[in-house]
Amino acid sequence: MTIRLNTFLHLFRRCHSTTSTPHQQAMMARGLPKRAPIEGVRHIIAVGSGKGGVGKSSVSVNLALALSRLNNQVGILDADIFGPSLPTLLNLRNHKATTTTTTNLIEPLINFNLKCMSIAFLTKSDGAIVWRGLMVMQAIEKLLRQVAWSPLDYLIIDLPPGTGDIQLSIAQLVPLSGVIMVTTPQELALIDVRKAIEMFRLVNVPILGIVENFSTYFCQKCGHEEKIFGENGAQLLSNEFHLNILESLPIDTQFRQACDQGRPIIQQSETILCSKFNNLAKQINEQMHKNKTTTT
């Protein structure tokens, strides 16, 4: 029994090493689909963290809108099959997507000049989805391949928490231009973000940088600054994995209210958060332009 346990632990550690051997890479690639682009989509960018409740969805939506402001055609895919947030964030609750008869593709919903798709647009409203892994992966492939995304400059994919079937399926099905990691400063979030970073590196997905959410709070009455979730979390990740900190976002009551009401903050009057999302979008735009110049 001890020998078997030691063997299992040895294999487990090898499989979870941050640096994979050629043999491991060959084993991971065996039987997997080849990455293929989505027709008419130039850049596919995922937003993830590995941790739930850090604000991935609100960052995804407002980043997509900020990119759209830079004269890009942008779409956003809610890849959280079990807990989709896009209908609420973009005021699309109880809306359903339809399939065109000419192309047999699902027409994405459009709001705020964004092409939007979520499993919630194809299933019963507020109904629980109880699916096994195979059904989830089939749903993800359908949302990627059978939606009329074209033409798009950017497709933003809002990832669910974790490092499981959905993340791996997306990384294996389409050539991601990169992934943005969202975290809060607290160590509890950093633990899962580290795992997500390691996973994306194992599957050769570029990490574009880190967004630190809930970085600080300013009292609306007296202006006192409070580091509610701790501090220097993004800096720790940056130093550990040699990644850029793209932006730090403060806690903002108006931002929370806007998300709950389906009114993205980027569409409202110019605020600190608006300028931060605009800055984030400019950085992503510049990275994609630089990558294109390098490859050509």
* CA–CA distance, 234 with 182 (Å, rounded to integer): 9
CA distances (Å), origin 251, targets 24, 116, 257, 268, 290: 42, 26, 12, 17, 32
* CA–CA distance, 43 with 37 (Å, rounded to integer): 9
Sheet strands (E) in 85-167 = 98-99, 106-107, 109-111, 114-118, 152-158
| Token pair belonging to 241 | 């994995």
- Per-residue pLDDT band for 18 (boundaries 50, 70, 90) equals low
* The pLDDT value given to residue 189: 94
- φ and ψ at 212, to 5 degrees? -95, 115
Q: Is the pLDDT of residue 4 over 60?
A: no
* The pLDDT value given to residue 202: 94
- Give Cα 185 to chain centroid, integer Å: 18
Q: Is the pLDDT of residue 264 over 80?
A: yes
Does pTM top 0.85 for this prediction?
yes
* The pLDDT value given to residue 296: 43
Select from 215, 237, 294, 281 the least CA-distant residue to 45: 281
β-strands 106-107, 41-48 pairing: unpaired
Mind listing the pLDDT tens digit for each residue in 127-181?
788 888 889 999 999 999 999 999 999 999 999 999 989 999 999 999 999 999 9
| Token pair belonging to 20 | 């994979």
What percent of the chain has pLDDT above 70? 86
Q: Are 216 and 250 spatial neighbours (Cβ–Cβ below 8 Å)?
A: yes
Mind listing the pLDDT tens digit for each residue in 214-248?
998 777 778 777 888 888 889 999 999 999 999 99
* CA–CA distance, 166 with 180 (Å, rounded to integer): 16
The three-state secondary structure class of 33 is coil
CA distances (Å), origin 55, targets 58, 60, 184, 212, 250: 5, 9, 9, 10, 11
Q: Are 35 and 175 spatial neighbours (Cβ–Cβ below 8 Å)?
A: yes
Exposure b/e, 255-286, CB count within 10 A at least 16 = b = beebbeebbbbbeeeeeebbebbbebbebbbe
| Token pair belonging to 28 | 């991971």
* The pLDDT value given to residue 266: 79
| Token pair belonging to 83 | 């807990």
Domain spanning 42-294 has what CATH number?
3.40.50.300
